[in-house]
């Protein structure tokens, strides 16, 4: 069995995660698939790559144990990182942002010497001219990250030349997950379907999201979730969309200096007011010369710094380093 098949078989057989890998098309699962796609088979020699799950049973004594952590510190699958016994079994922990790394070090006192930050990556998105007859907003992430806030803000805008496109569903994490949480958001999705100028698309695979992003103007993301990176924002920026979001979690790290970032407010009514002001301003200024210059620089910067050409080289060097260090010890 080749190395990639071995790693894929292992992650597919992990039944202890709340989502089954082969049924899930969430951000971290897609990153895992893209890493396997973009690295040569020999890069994974002797590596036991564990995705998001600090589980003793996933450790392999004869391998270099690397935990790739996209989750936030408070998520259930991360709690064993508070156990010295478990952390001692790991050779390395890879975090997807400096913000996430700092949170885990602060919360669990993880040794910095066995931690590294390797940011997420995307496949290059070719630019297409945006339509000029209207402004297209898009929300393309899970519903609990801010869809309820956004829908309320959008209704109050009541602008005829602005449409909101919602690509959101709990089925993104598979049938098992959807059965647990699907009904919780059914009412919100129905509200989307019944609201003027809102187009509800449900779950779309990533390649279809990318095609939609090329025609979108603004990624409207009033985030109430501590994003540890936010691939949705990275892809939106690469496609030439203005990102209007909050500074919760790693969003400031991911979106600066390009995004329109407001301070997160705990009270929904305060967040709605502040976000509405920022969104209206971004809609009105989208076609200004200043905004268009910024978005051009944004596209070029994000597509280059977050490319798999760059990131795969980082991963190759990292895996090579882990093998050399293992030999020495």
Q: Is residue 130 part of a domain?
A: no
Q: Is residue 63 part of a domain?
A: yes
Residues 6+ apart with CB under 8 A from 41: 2, 3, 4
Q: Is residue 127 part of a domain?
A: no
User: Do 7 and 34 lie in a common domain?
Assistant: yes
Specify the pLDDT at position 229. Answer: 98
Q: Containing domain of residue 232, as a range? A: 135-305
User: Do 37 and 142 lie in a common domain?
Assistant: no
Which pair of tokens denotes residue 51?
Answer: 């995705």
pLDDT digits 0-9 by tens, 158-202: 898 999 999 999 999 999 899 989 999 999 999 999 999 999 999
User: Do 140 and 248 lie in a common domain?
Assistant: yes
Reported pTM: 0.96
Place of tokens 């907003």: 137
β-pair partners for 261: 245
Which pair of tokens denotes residue 216?
Answer: 């979108």
Specify the pLDDT at position 328. Answer: 63
User: Do 301 and 161 lie in a common domain?
Assistant: yes
User: Do 229 and 91 lie in a common domain?
Assistant: no
User: Do 141 and 276 lie in a common domain?
Assistant: yes
Q: How confident is the model at residue 9 (pLDDT cuts 50, 70, 90)?
A: very high
Q: Is residue 29 part of a domain?
A: yes
pLDDT digits 0-9 by tens, 315-324: 999 999 999 9
| The total number of structural domains that make up the chain | 2
């Amino acid at each position: 069995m080749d190395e990639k098949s071995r790693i894929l078989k292992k992650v597919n057989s992990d039944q202890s995660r709340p989502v089954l890998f082969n049924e899930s098309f969430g951000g971290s699962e897609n990153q895992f698939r893209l890493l396997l796609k973009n690295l040569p088979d020999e890069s994974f020699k002797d590596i036991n790559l564990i995705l998001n799950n600090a589980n003793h049973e996933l450790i392999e004594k004869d391998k270099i144990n690397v935990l790739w952590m996209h989750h936030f510190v408070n998520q259930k699958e991360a709690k064993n990182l508070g156990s010295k016994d478990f952390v001692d079994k790991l050779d390395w922990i890879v975090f997807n942002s400096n913000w996430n790394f700092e949170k885990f070090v602060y919360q669990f006192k993880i040794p910095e010497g066995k931690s590294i930050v390797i940011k997420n990556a995307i496949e290059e998105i070719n630019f297409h001219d945006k339509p000029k007859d209207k402004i297209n907003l898009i929300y393309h992430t899970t519903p609990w990250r801010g869809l309820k806030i956004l829908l309320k803000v959008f209704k109050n805008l009541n602008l005829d030349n602005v449409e909101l496109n919602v690509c959101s569903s709990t089925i993104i994490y598979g049938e098992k997950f959807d059965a647990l949480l699907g009904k919780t958001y059914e009412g919100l999705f129905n509200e989307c379907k019944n609201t003027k100028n809102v187009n509800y698309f449900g779950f779309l695979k990533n390649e279809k999201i990318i095609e939609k992003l090329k025609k979108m103007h603004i990624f409207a993301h009033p985030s109430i979730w501590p994003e540890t990176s936010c691939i949705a924002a990275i892809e939106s920026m690469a496609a030439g969309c203005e990102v209007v979001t909050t500074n919760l979690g790693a969003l400031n790290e991911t979106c600066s200096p390009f995004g329109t970032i407001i301070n997160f407010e705990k009270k929904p009514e305060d967040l709605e007011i502040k976000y509405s002001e920022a969104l209206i301003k971004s809609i009105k200024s989208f076609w200004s010369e200043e905004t268009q210059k910024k978005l051009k620089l944004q596209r070029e910067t994000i597509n280059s710094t977050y490319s798999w050409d760059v990131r795969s080289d980082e991963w190759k060097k990292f895996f090579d380093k882990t093998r050399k260090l293992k030999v020495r010890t």
